[in-house]
Homo-oligomer: A and B are copies of this chain.
């Protein structure tokens, strides 16, 4: 019972499911028992909206709920834990979270954005990176902490209007992905495709799907820009940490990067 993977999901719930599915899809397995022991906590009522907190519309720091979830996972045996939400990685949330979970001995937190940045630096070697994300992620500037100018990166964001449109594609109660993910509405898909075209036109060499809902709505096209899914990259990193011999080759299933 060593090396169990833990996922703090529920932020949102489908993103957590997608994260665990990525772990299964990227594991070499021909029978149930080959799969890696994993736990998913999907307790959305414990974790206030991350974007609302970063924009000042929500007082409670989501970090506290995330710590409660981490404790549930830790008590149940998880030792490698990731949070299936981009916006939660903003310093104002992730730093206190990380400090508070230091009390759990032997727990390794695998940071999704750091994992994505390491991948771009070591494997993809491109510099002009377009970012699709929720307003909270743009406002917090969280991706700028990981893709720094000093390291030669240009992080490209959509125009203000483009950012509003993407936020609606995620959050709108009538057509947004959080409310309607099975299937994703055409309006949400169209907004995202337009944002991708605009960023490509401005010279982006790769695109980050910087919100865990986006991979549900955007699929890579042959010859199109590489689409980086930080959740997928982190799922693969968790496999590498717990059972490296079981990691499938890149590109076999669902990996948009290569």
Contact = CB atoms under 8 A, between A and B. Distances in A.
A76 B35 contact: no
Interface in A229-258: 253-254
Contacts of A42: 20, 35, 37-40
Given A13-B24, A17-B21, A182-B25, A46 B37 contact: yes
Nearest to A179: B30
Interface string A105-120: 0000000000000000
A119 to B, nearest CB: 22
- For A29, A47, A173, the residue with the greatest tally of chain B CB atoms inside 10 Å of its CB is A29
Given A13-B32, A29-B179, A182-B254, 18 more contacts: A4-B43, A10-B37, A17-B20, A30-B179, A31-B49, A31-B179, A32-B47, A33-B44, A33-B45, A35-B42, A37-B42, A37-B43, A37-B46, A39-B39, A39-B40, A40-B42, A73-B76, A76-B76
B20 A49 contact: no
A253 B43 CA distance: 22
A155 interface: no
B41 A76 contact: yes
A84 to B, nearest CB: 11
Nearest to A14: B24
Interface in A71-92: 72-73, 75-77
A10 B31 CA distance: 11
A166 interface: no
16 contacts: A10-B38, A13-B24, A14-B21, A17-B17, A17-B20, A25-B182, A30-B179, A32-B47, A33-B49, A37-B45, A38-B42, A39-B43, A40-B42, A72-B77, A75-B76, A182-B254
Nearest to A173: B30
A32 B49 contact: yes
Contact of A20 (B34, B40, B75): B40
Nearest to A48: B33
A114 to B, nearest CB: 24
A11 interface: yes
A130 interface: no
A167 interface: no
Contact of A11 (B30, B32, B178, B179): B32
A12 interface: yes
A10 B32 contact: yes
Nearest to A172: B30
